[in-house]
């Protein structure tokens, strides 16, 4: 089956990106190289094609109350112009998807979901919401590009001739680009100051090329996006989050502050395994599925994500570990070729990120 194409796929191909399938889409993995793109984002500003993500609009009388019963997000404390990270859970409290919800008004929301989960998420929401609440899939007409890095605010202000220094973390604002609506959200997936930007599908390439005219910006592929998010200690659905594990097991039980009786609430705090962050000296990486064991002892878990961390000069990883063994300091990763000594780490792995920086 042929992969879906974003409105920027032809641009990526024309500019020599290494392309590969991802979640059913043909996506850029790298341009100049993962290490170059990673460090440029940490130091300046990187631009990411994230048009494969899904966007749904939810609105109508009673949407607030109904949506509060469908997802784990605490909507009671979510003000218009703000967005919040949370989960769509199954009945047992396992994570069907992690997603961000934007509130536009009392009963008007947008939910942004992972590409691989979009169809299932839409079906689950439609089943949970009453027919009086409209649920519209905007994914086919909505483009999303992410501008991330400490210089991103200056780049965005220069491109749009508008001040964004007053936009708070996890705040958003509606503006325009080339006569079309543009939603600017101070969020991202790199640990750096940055913005997720939503606009009509047919305006994506013009906006992309306008941002790239700034010498502070480079295009960045999904390869560096993965190393950046892992350094920031952010989970990836399908690897570090799945429908067999609860948010509490992934270390996110503190986010479950909603008092609504949402689907999966009873199991959301269940802990049988713990998602443990690991540091491994050297460059030999742990991989998804590698066995995790105690030194000289039994298997206690398995690696979910692992990569060399360019900003740290070592390998970092996440692993699901049996809850009774999760507090150990030292572990061993059994790879196909060798055993790697691993030590429990603190999150985020990379602690110099600018995501929450107050802008003057």
The predicted-structure confidence for 140-156, as pLDDT tens digits, reads as follows 999 999 999 999 999 99
pTM over 0.95: yes
Q: Note whether 296 and 305 are within 8 A (CB).
A: no
Helix/strand/coil for 50: coil
pLDDT in tens, the chain (360 residues): 579 999 999 999 999 999 999 999 999 999 999 999 999 999 999 999 999 999 999 999 999 999 999 999 999 999 999 999 999 999 999 999 999 999 999 999 999 999 999 999 999 999 999 999 999 999 999 999 999 999 999 999 999 999 999 999 999 999 999 999 999 999 999 999 999 999 999 999 999 999 999 999 999 999 999 999 999 999 999 999 999 999 999 999 999 999 999 999 999 999 999 999 999 998 889 999 999 999 999 999 999 999 999 999 999 999 999 999 999 999 999 998 889 999 999 999 999 999 999 997
Q: How far is CA 350 from CA 116, 129, 281, 314, in A?
A: 27, 39, 15, 11
Query: For residue 258, what are the CA distances in angstroms to 69, 112, 359?
Result: 9, 19, 30
Please give the Cα distance from 161 to 183 (Å, whole number): 15
Query: Phi-psi bin for 105: left (phi > 0), alpha (psi -120 to 50), beta?
Result: beta
Q: What angle do CA 162, 355, 211 make, to 5 degrees?
A: 40
Rounded to the nearest angstrom, the gap between the alpha carbon of residue 46 and the centroid of all alpha carbons in its chain is 15
**How many angstroms separate the CA atoms of 16 and 28, rounded?**
9
What are the residue ranges of helices labelled H in 149-216? 152-160, 204-212
Nearest to 265 by CA among 90, 67, 84: 90
Position 262 scores a pLDDT of 98
Residue 164's contacts (CB-CB under 8 Å, 6 or more residues apart) are 153, 156, 157, 173, 184, 186, 195, 359
β-pair partners for 171: 82
**Any idea how long the chain is?**
360
**What per-residue confidence (pLDDT) applies to 273?**
98
pLDDT recorded at residue 337: 83
Q: Strand pairing partners for 144?
A: 198
pLDDT value for 1? 53
First to last CA, the chain: 50
How many angstroms separate the CA atoms of 31 and 15, rounded?
8
């Amino acid at each position: 089956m042929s992969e879906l194409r974003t409105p920027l796929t032809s641009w990526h191909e024309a500019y020599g990106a290494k392309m590969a399938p991802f979640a059913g889409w043909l996506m850029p993995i790298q341009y100049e190289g993962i290490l170059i793109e990673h460090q440029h984002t940490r130091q300046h500003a990187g631009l990411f094609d994230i048009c494969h993500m899904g966007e749904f609009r939810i609105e109508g009388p009673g949407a607030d109350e109904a949506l509060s019963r469908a997802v784990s997000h605490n909507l009671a404390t979510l003000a218009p112009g703000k967005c919040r990270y949370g989960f769509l859970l199954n009945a047992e409290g396992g994570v069907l998807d992690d997603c961000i919800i934007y509130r536009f008004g009392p009963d008007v929301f947008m939910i942004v979901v992972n590409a691989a989960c979009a169809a299932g998420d839409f079906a689950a929401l439609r089943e949970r919401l009453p027919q009086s609440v409209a649920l519209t899939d905007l994914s086919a007409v909505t483009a999303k590009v992410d501008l991330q890095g400490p210089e991103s605010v200056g780049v965005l202000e220069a491109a749009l001739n508008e001040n964004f220094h007053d936009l708070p973390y996890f705040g958003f604002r509606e503006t325009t680009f080339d006569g079309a609506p543009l939603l600017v959200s101070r969020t991202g997936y790199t640990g750096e100051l940055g913005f997720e930007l939503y606009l009509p599908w047919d305006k994506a390439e013009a906006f992309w090329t306008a941002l790239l005219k700034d010498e502070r910006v480079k295009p960045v592929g999904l390869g560096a996006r993965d190393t950046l998010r892992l350094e920031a200690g952010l989970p990836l659905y399908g690897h570090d989050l799945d429908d067999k594990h609860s948010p509490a097991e992934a270390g996110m039980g503190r986010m479950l502050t909603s008092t609504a009786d949402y689907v999966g609430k009873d199991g959301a705090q269940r802990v049988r395994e713990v998602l443990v962050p690991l540091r491994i000296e050297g460059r030999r990486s742990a991989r998804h599925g590698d066995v995790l064991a105690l030194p000289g002892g039994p298997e206690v878990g398995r690696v979910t994500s692992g990569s060399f961390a360019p900003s740290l000069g070592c390998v970092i990883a996440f692993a699901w570990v049996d809850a009774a063994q999760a507090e150990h300091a030292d572990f061993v990763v059994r790879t196909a070729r060798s055993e790697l000594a691993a030590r429990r780490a603190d999150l985020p792995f990379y602690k110099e990120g600018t995501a929450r920086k107050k802008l003057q």
